[in-house]
Amino acid sequence: MELVRLARDNAKHAFEQRARKEDDMEARLEELQRRLRLPRVPRRIECIDISHLGGTQTVASLVALTDGLPDKSATRTYHLRA
């Protein structure tokens, strides 16, 4: 019986932790909207980074976030040539 109680308590804790994490992410997105003076909460964010070694071997990376979480299927890497 103790094992069942422990499993139930762990499940409850995990559920509460997930709900808190989602609420926190929503608050962060709303803060970003406020700071950037956006008309609505940004649901999709794309970031691009361009790196090189002394002007050669240029690589661009695109990372996408959906609702504040990484969207790995939308991540791209591009090897640029002059």
The amino acid occupying position 43 is R
Q: Is the pTM of this model over 0.85?
A: no
Tens-place pLDDT, residues 20-77: 776 788 889 999 999 999 999 999 999 999 998 887 889 999 999 999 889 999 999 9
Greatest mean pLDDT range, 3-7, 9-13, 21-25, 67-71: 67-71
- Mean of pLDDT values over 4-31: 83
